Structure 1
Amino acid sequence: MKRNSTVRLTITAIFTAILILQTIVPNIGYIHIFPGLPAITTVPLTVAIYGALMGTKAGFIFGLFWGITRFIATYAMPSDMVSLLLFQNPLISIVPRVLAGVTPGIIVNLFKTDNPKMQKVSYLLAGFATSFMNTAFVIIMTSLVFMGDPTHLTKYLGSVNTSQPLIMILIVALGVNGIVEMIFTGLLTPIIMPALKLVMKKA
C-alpha cells in the first residue's frame, strides 16, 4: 500500500512538473500558429494520460491545477488579446480544464478490460474526449460570459461575420485549433499509455 502511494505521488510530481513547464516555457504547452487567436495547446495530452493512469479523482485535481495555472499565466505572461479576454475569467480558464481532467478516467473506467486492443481504443477515446471537452466548454463558457456584449470579444477575432450568434463565431474561430488538438491528443494517448502502465506495474 505504501509502495503504491509512493508510485502515485512520484507520477503526480512528474506530471505536475511537465504541466508547469508547458505553461511557462514558450511554444511547448501553448503553440501560437494563427496570429491573434489563442494558442494550440499540447497540455490536453498530459492531462489525458495522467487522468487515464490515475483515475477520475486525481484527474479532477490535476484539471483544477491546470485551470489555475492557465488563469495565472494569462496575467503573468499575456500572449494575445483574445486569450487575455477569455482566460482572465475563471469560469473560462478553470471550468473546462476541470471537466477535461475528469473525462479520461471516466472513459477508461467504462472500458475496463484486459484486452489490449480495447484498452487502446479506450485510450484513443480518452485522449480525443479530453481535448474535446476542453475546447467545447471554452466555447460554451465564453459564449455565456460574453453573451451581453459579444463585440468586446469579436472585434479581436479578425475577419468574422459578427451578425452570426456568438457561439457560431467561436466555433469557427477556435474550431481549427480544437480539431488539431483532438487529433494530436487522440493519436498519441494510446501510443504512450501502454508503456507508462508497464512502468507502473514494475515500479
Structure 2
Amino acid sequence: MRKKRSTYRISILAILTAIIVLQDFIPMLGNIPIGPLSLTTLHVTVIITAIVLGPVDGAIVGGVWGVLTWIRAFAFPSSPLAPLVFVNPLVSVFPRIMIGLVAGWTFMALFKLFKHSLSSMVIAAILGALTNTVLVLGFIYIFYHTPEVAKVYGVNVSNLFKALSAIFVTNGLAEMLMAAIIAPLIATPLRKVTQRQQAS
C-alpha cells in the first residue's frame, strides 16, 4: 500500500515537473514578455503541486523552475532584465522554492482549521504568488539598485523603487489573480483523484 502511494506521488510529481519544464521552454506558454518584464504562469504549477502533494514537493517543482530560470539567465534570457538579476540564485531560485513552501503550508494549515478546501486553495494560491513577487522584486531592489537595472525599467536609480512598486501593482496583482482562479480549478479534481488513489 505504502509503495503504491509512493509510486503514484512520484508519478504525479514527475508529470508536474515536466509541465513546468515545458512552460519554461515553450515561448508564450510560461513567460509572456511585456516590455522589459515577463509575466509568468509557472508559479501556478508550483502552487498546484504544493496544494495536491504538499509543501516539500511544491518546493521541489519550484526549485526546478528556479534552476531553469538561473540557467536561462546565462544561456538564453527570457527578458532584458534576466541576465542582470537572475544570475543571482537568491533572485532566481530561492523565491521559487518559497512559493511551494508558503502555498503548501498555508493550504495545510487553513484546511486543518476550517475544513474548506476551496477557500484554503484560493488563499494559498494568493500567498504563494505574493511570495514570489515580493521576494523577486525585493531582492532586485536590495541587490541590484544600479543604473543598469534602472535603465531596463526606463527610469533612473532614484525612481527604481517606484518602478518596482508599479510592477507589483500590475504584474504582481495579475499573477495573484491568475493563481487564485486557475490553481483551485486544477488542484480540486487532481486532489480528489490523489485522495482516492491513496485510500485504495
Structure 2 residue identity aligned to 1:53: V
- Which structure: greater helix fraction? 2
Q: TM-score, normalised by structure 1?
A: 0.89
Matches within 5 A, 1:21-40: 21-32=22-33, 34-35=34-35, 37-40=36-39
Answering whether residue 152 of structure 2 is matched by residue 156 of structure 1, we say yes
Partner of 2:15: 14
Partner of 2:97: 98
Q: Secondary structure, in 3 states, of the residue corresponding to 1:121?
A: helix
**Displacement after TM superposition at 1:137 (Å):** 0.3
Structure 1 residue identity aligned to 2:183: T
Counting matched residue pairs gives 196
- Give yes or no for contact 2:46–2:61 (8 Å, CA) kept in 1: yes
- Of the three residues 172, 176, 187, the one matched with 2:181 is 187
Answering whether residue 127 of structure 2 is matched by residue 129 of structure 1, we say yes
- Structure 2 segments unaligned to the other structure (5+ residues): none
* Cα deviation code 1:145-175 (max 9, x no counterpart): 124xx212101112x36433x4333122454
The 1-side partners of 2:180 and 2:196 are apart by 26
Q: Which runs of 4+ in 1 moved over 6 A?
A: none
* Cα deviation code 1:9-40 (max 9, x no counterpart): 000110010000011111101011x22x2210
Q: TM-score, normalised by structure 2?
A: 0.90
* Percent of residue pairs bearing the same amino acid type: 31
Partner of 2:140: 142
- Structure 1 segments unaligned to the other structure (5+ residues): none
Q: Aligned Cα RMSD in Å?
A: 1.8
Partner of 2:111: 112
Q: Secondary structure, in 3 states, of the residue corresponding to 1:112?
A: helix
